[in-house]
């Protein structure tokens, strides 16, 4: 396994994402993705990285804008017990498990009874 830092891996990942999704213009990231990555993405891909930082004077748990969406997504994945650990040997089977987990979530939401508008 290679020892690659988050910023270097983010450059590679964002290059692939931009190739697949041409309309992508904005990416939210946490404080670990500052520095040269922001300039590189802006010049190479015309992609803006908006860093959502936690203020130094905050104490305890504080909901940060946009980051709660990612945390909620990970929580939904962890409800599928097989995804809570690194059991998958191939990325293709891990990807299939993510699709399965999200399918369960969406079908539960669709099957939920809706209140009448009467």
What tens digit of pLDDT does each residue of 57-80 get? 877 777 777 778 878 888 888 887
Beta bridge partners of 27: 49
Q: From CA 97, how far away is CA 89, in angstroms rounded?
A: 12
Q: From CA 25, how far away is CA 59, in angstroms rounded?
A: 33
What was the pLDDT predicted at 93? 83
Q: What angle do CA 41, 45, 48 make, to 5 degrees?
A: 50
What was the pLDDT predicted at 2? 66
DSSP structure string for 46-86: --EEEE-PPPTT--S--PPTTHHHHHHHHHHHHTSGGGGTT
The answer to whether the predicted template modeling score (pTM) of the entire model surpasses 0.85 is no
Contact 47, 21 (CB under 8 A): no
């Amino acid at each position: 396994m290679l020892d690659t830092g988050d910023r270097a891996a983010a450059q590679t990942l964002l290059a692939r994402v931009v190739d697949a999704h041409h309309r992508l213009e904005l990416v939210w990231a946490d404080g670990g993705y500052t520095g040269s990555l922001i300039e590189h993405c802006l010049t190479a891909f015309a992609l803006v990285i908006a860093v959502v930082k936690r203020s130094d004077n905050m104490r305890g748990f504080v909901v940060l804008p946009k980051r709660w969406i990612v945390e909620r997504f990970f929580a939904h994945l962890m409800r599928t017990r097989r995804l809570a650990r690194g059991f998958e040997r191939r990325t293709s089977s891990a990807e299939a498990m993510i699709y399965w987990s999200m399918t369960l979530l969406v079908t539960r939401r669709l099957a939920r009874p809706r209140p009448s508008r009467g």
